[in-house]
Amino acid sequence: MQNSETFLANMPDIQQAEHVLHEVFGFEEFRSLQKDIIENVLQKRDTLAIMPTGGGKSLCYQIPALIFDGLTIVVSPLISLMKDQVDQLTAYGISASYLNSSLSPQEYESTLDKIRRNKLDLLYLAPETLLKGNILNLLSGLKIECLAIDEAHCISEWGHDFRPEYRQLSNVTKRFEDAVILGLTATATPRVQKDIANSLGLADANTFVASFNRKNLYLDVVTKTNALQQTLNFLRRHEGESGIIYCFSRKQVDQLTQDLNANGFNTLPYHAGLGEDERTQNQNAFIRDEADIIVATIAFGMGIDKPDVRFVVHHDIPQNIESYYQQIGRAGRDGLQSDCLFLFSYGDANKIRYFINKKTGEEQRIAEKHLQKLMQYVEALQCRRIKLLGYFGEHFNEQNCGMCDFCTGNTPEKEKITVPVQKFLSTMARTEQRFGYNHILNILLGSRRKEVLKFNHDKLSTYGIGKEFSRPEWKQVYRELMKQDIIVREIEHKSLKLTPKAMEILKGHQEVYGIIEEPVQKARVKSSAKSDIESLDFNRNLFALLKEKRMDMARNQSIPPFIIFGDTTLIEMSYYYPQSNESLLNIHGVGRAKAKKYGDDFLRVIKDFCKEKDLDERSKSDTHQRTKKIKKTLSRDSRPYQVGQMFREGKTVSVIASEIDVKEGTVVNYLSKFVKAGHSIPSDNILEASQLGDPEIKKVQKAFDDHGYELLRPIYDTLNEEVSYDQLRVVQLYTMVQDHT
Ligand code: ADP
Ligand code: ZN
């Protein structure tokens, strides 16, 4: 009798999962692939889940863990993250814990005790802990339902983060026969993926690979001219937001930290030259919103899980495109728009080249190739996502991503650019459409470069006729030509070709309009790239007050603010002005437990604000959608329907049980299902089935009041295991009936 959620047991698996998503986590719907993965895990099929950072991997094992009877073990190499992860789950009212060296002997012992008494739904462990004899023996004696292996790429020597202990996990998996194995990683390379499957014995596992496109990241590459000034300009647009700035060296980190602080920004440094204590302190200050900006070498990032990092700046060139992707990936895990700025200079690229030249053989060749890929990304005259995702083997073919410098390089004011366009096109025509952008540009600007002279292109009538524009301005012309389908780029030879449109323009039959001036460095976002939440015109003043409240509460409880509520939640509160517990539960990210724990504090701020400003609550248009969605019509010949009808006719639970020859608990389950499907039953005769006395019933009801009635385990624990799950389920049914009427 361990399962806290058996009342859900009659629903199809994925409906149970949706129920937990809505009621416990307060989320509206699954993200791409989450549903498939969870369904697979619930059916105990070994699974490999490959999703980018922020893709929502955690829910893929957290939700099944709440549905399974037994324990879910989460293997993770990141000891520093375990506490935050467990704190986060605890805030959702979930029973989770971890074992690692940071616990005191007493804490360690008390966790072991909880494991023995089957009190946990989730247990986080580092692989070396799981491999310890005593732990392994303890766990082998329990019902382990799922073994989730986070950061599964650590098992592969090809990955960037190989950990030998991971190799031994394959022996362990055999010891838990009932456990479904779920490997999770954000590493996209096929070689590593294969290695994971082989090493974990997941040959037959289903593999799910999500798109690596992080839609909410705005990608911008800008030529570095005055790095400090450019950084400051950028930061002024992100006042008060959290962000990371990556630099090449420790010295630069220290210098930039100083400069930013001198300019009034709240900044801390992070690099391997600092003592461990200082590094931990700085990292914590960042996670807890006490410092806005971290200036770091690449040493920073692995151990942080902060969902609301709003920007990542590459003050200097990253090592390669993979680390660039990983580093920008730390922004915007919560799905809100985040800004990534890359200040690029050829001088920086040469620095990397210098290190490459010191290498030899294969290593040198690989490093060379990495740099080349990075340069292709930087120099690309097309949507940034094409090259970036292309590196991971993903084909990106959206017309306009709306979230990169190339795709948004237009201001509202367009000018007539027919003449420069004609110059460009006729140069293409005169060179038989056999050349690429740079060569055409060299001709237009009258360059003396070798290739220009070699082909006698200095003799062309268009040689040197484009000097009225700078290179960046010509780049804009080119962007317009590509965007307006006037020219296309042939993939194989990289030469530019004229389209029929171009012919019309060359003949003077058609004018062209576009933007020549350098694009303003500002994220201008296509509205379709915004999430629903971001499109809300929310009240900034209230948002600031709610953030302050969150900060106070987080300080008091020594937890990071995002554990209480994410920004998305505060944004919705600042738009809908919920005034009651009911409407609060409709807000994104507010599950039952959090509403109970933190709801009143936030409601008070909202109510005071609304009273003072004379504002009314707005109803969320999809109000009740969460509950509606999971309602499923019961067919008339289904057991729950028949049992519901019998109860409506006045038969008691015990009478029905003996009539249809099932246990009373099963009747209660059927009734729950009946009610959840939207039918009503009289509440008068329910409680007697619990055989509890009035005072006990009161106690149970109080516990439901405090913890919500979705998960029974917290109630069972609060009441010191004195009331059985069967009895709790009866009171739960009663509460539900009252709630639905
Ligand atoms: P990953 O482990 O893949 O990097 P996480 O599991 O940490 O990603 O999820 C990233 C963020 O997205 C978290 O803040 C999480 O609460 C949120 N999230 C995950 N799934 C959903 C969902 N279905 N709806 C709304 N938010 C979600
Ligand atoms: Zn784009």
Q: What is the mean pLDDT of residues 410-420?
A: 68
Q: What is the mean pLDDT of residues 170-184?
A: 90
User: Can you give the three-state secondary structure of 581-615, one letter per residue?
Assistant: HHHHCCCCCCCHHHHHHHHHHHHHHHHHHHHHHCC
Percentage, residues of the chain above pLDDT 70 = 93
Q: What is the mean pLDDT of residues 345-363?
A: 87
Q: What six digits make up the tokens of 161?
A: 């983060």
Q: Whose CA is nearest to atom 24 of ligand 1?
A: 27
Is the pLDDT at 4 greater than 70, yes or no?
Answer: no
Q: pLDDT tier at 632 (50, 70, 90 boundaries)?
A: low
Q: What is the rounded CA–CA span in Å between residue 631 and residue 643?
A: 18
The string of DSSP letters for 670-738 reads: HHHHHHHTT----STTTGGGGT--HHHHHHHHHHHHHH-SS-SHHHHHHTTT-S-HHHHHHHHHHHHHH
212 and 52 Cβ atoms separated by less than 8 Å = yes
Residue 188: what pLDDT?
Answer: 66
Give the distance (Å) from ligand 2 centre to CA of residue 30.
26
Q: What is the mean pLDDT of residues 523-544?
A: 73
Q: 171 or 227, which is more confident?
A: 227
Residue 124: what pLDDT?
Answer: 97
Q: Is 126 left (phi over 0), alpha (psi -120 to 50) or beta?
A: beta
Q: What is the mean pLDDT of residues 26-37?
A: 92
Give the distance (Å) from ligand 1 centre to CA of residue 674.
32
Which range (4-13, 377-386, 603-612) has the least confidence?
4-13
Is the pLDDT at 519 greater than 70, yes or no?
Answer: no
Residue 506: what pLDDT?
Answer: 93
Residue 66: what pLDDT?
Answer: 94
> Hey, what amino acid is at 435?
F
Q: 630 or 445, which is more confident?
A: 445
Q: 317 or 304, which is more confident?
A: 317
Give the distance (Å) from ligand 1 centre to CA of residue 601.
25
Q: What is the mean pLDDT of residues 508-533?
A: 65
Give the distance (Å) from ligand 2 centre to CA of residue 466.
27
Q: What is the mean pLDDT of residues 637-659?
A: 89
Cα 150 off chain centre by: 15
> Hey, what amino acid is at 36?
D
Q: What is the mean pLDDT of the chain?
A: 87
670-695 pLDDT tens trace: 888 888 777 888 888 899 888 899 99
- Asked if residue 57 has its Cβ within 6 Å of ligand 1, the reply is yes
Q: What six digits make up the tokens of 702?
A: 């109080």
Q: Name the DSSP letter for residue 289.
A: T
Residue 226: what pLDDT?
Answer: 86
> Residue 327, class by beta-carbon neighbours within 10 Å (0-12 exposed, 13-18 middle, 19+ buried)?
buried
Q: What is the mean pLDDT of residues 132-139?
A: 93
550-597 pLDDT tens trace: 999 999 999 999 999 999 999 999 999 999 999 999 999 999 999 999
Q: Which of 318, 288, 297 is nearest to 244 (CA)?
A: 297
Q: pLDDT tier at 423 (50, 70, 90 boundaries)?
A: very high
Find the helix or strand (DSSP H, E) in which 294 lies. strand 293-296
Strands of 304-445, DSSP E: 309-314, 338-344, 415-416
Using DSSP's 3-state secondary structure scheme, residue 575 falls into: helix
- Asked if residue 699 has its Cβ within 6 Å of ligand 1, the reply is no
215 and 528 Cβ atoms separated by less than 8 Å = no
660-672 pLDDT tens trace: 888 888 888 888 8
Q: Where are the alpha helices (DSSP H) in 269-337?
A: 276-287, 321-328
Q: What structural domains does the chain harbor?
A: 31-209 (3.40.50.300), 217-408 (3.40.50.300), 415-514 (1.10.10.10), 540-623 (1.10.150.80), 631-740 (1.10.10.1390)
Residue 471: what pLDDT?
Answer: 79
